[in-house]
Amino acid sequence: MKNLSYTEVVTTPNYLYVFNFEKNFVYMETKKWMQNNLTNSIYYCIIYVILVFGGKYYMLKRQRFNLRGALVLWSSLLSLFSIIGLSRTLPEMIHILTYHGFYHSVCIPSFIEQDVVSGFWAWMFALSKLLEFGDTIFIVLRKQELIFLHWYHHITVFLYTWFSYADNIASARWFMVLNYFVHSIMYSYYALKAMRYKTPVFIPMLITILQITQMILGCIISIVSYHYLESHKECKNSRIHMIFSILMYLSYFILFCKFFYKSYIDKNGKFQKKMTINGTMDHKKFKAN
């Protein structure tokens, strides 16, 4: 199978319908905007940390908010967004793997340069990482347990996604599709829980397993991309991005494995954990058996 240069035109999926806002998508304009606002992305993280921990302090002596209706709406909208994003980006991924091969999927950024549908939803994906900071607002106002994994994950994903979009990193194709897939299931579950629907007890465990699998695949894609760079093959990634990506996904893998162990394997802990909106768990004391 031919390995194409990222400057060559590649075939794209035959979408049943392309919306006008997708047709009008111009990658270079959004890339320039991201590059011009790189510093602002760091400011957003600083504001996020101040609001989160300032909010926790503010809520110490105050009654928790219920916010169930808002939680249902929030989770439902993010679930719908993730499902739509997956449905608009997965066809491009499958098409590239089928007709152009794995190398192209990790090294050639045609998904954003030459496919307006996938490109538009890559732009939405990058912006959504700022929107997802809102998950933490519910945790703070509802006085739920805020663990390190939650806010560390939000900040690092946001920064990495922003910088990857600005630098046109090709392996982001994989990271985007995987994240859309996991979030489409995760936020659907949160929406159902907020509506007080009874769901099978294995669902939270399955979501955590999917998250761990996502981290393993993220590490593999990053390592393979780095190998292509070291082999002097044409690959629209950068060494610093790939090194950061490997370290980031490895840290996620360790933290999610630790979370999985404490949540579903360790039977002698002091806390029983139940899944919450943030993808972590609310801690409630229980007596060990």
- Which residue did the predictor score with more confidence, 285 or 158? 158
Q: In whole angstroms, give the CA distance from residue 238 to residue 109.
A: 13
153 assigned to active site: yes
Q: What percent of the chain has pLDDT over 90?
A: 81
CA angle in degrees (0–180, nearest 5) for 285-59-277 = 60
Mean pLDDT for the stretch of residues 176-187: 98
> Among 181-185, 201-205, 267-271, where is mean pLDDT lowest?
267-271
User: Do residues 172 and 165 make contact, with C-beta atoms less than 8 angstroms apart?
Assistant: yes
> Among 168-177, 232-241, 243-252, 264-273, where is mean pLDDT lowest?
264-273
Q: What was the pLDDT predicted at 282?
A: 42
- Structure token pair of residue 80: 């719908």
Q: What was the pLDDT predicted at 214?
A: 97
User: How confident is residue 19, by pLDDT bands cut at 50, 70 and 90?
Assistant: very high
- Structure token pair of residue 62: 């105050």
74-128 tens-digit pLDDT = 999 999 999 999 999 999 999 999 999 999 999 999 999 999 999 999 999 999 9
Q: What was the pLDDT predicted at 3?
A: 53
Neighbours of 16 (CB within 10 A): 6
Q: What was the pLDDT predicted at 69?
A: 95
Q: In whole angstroms, give the CA distance from residue 127 to residue 210.
A: 23
- Cα separations (Å) of 254 from 59, 246, 259? 31, 12, 9
Q: What percent of the chain has pLDDT over 70?
A: 89
The neighbouring-strand residues paired with 285 are 271
Q: Which residue among the candidates 153, 154, 183, 241 is catalytic per the annotation? A: 153
Neighbours of 32 (CB within 10 A): 12
- Structure token pair of residue 56: 């926790």
- Structure token pair of residue 208: 């955590």
39-48 tens-digit pLDDT = 999 999 999 9
Q: What was the pLDDT predicted at 7?
A: 52
Q: In whole angstroms, give the CA distance from residue 136 to residue 82.
A: 18
Contacts of 9 (CB under 8 A, 6+ apart): 114
Q: In whole angstroms, give the CA distance from residue 274 to residue 261.
A: 14
> Among 7-11, 196-200, 275-279, where is mean pLDDT lowest?
275-279
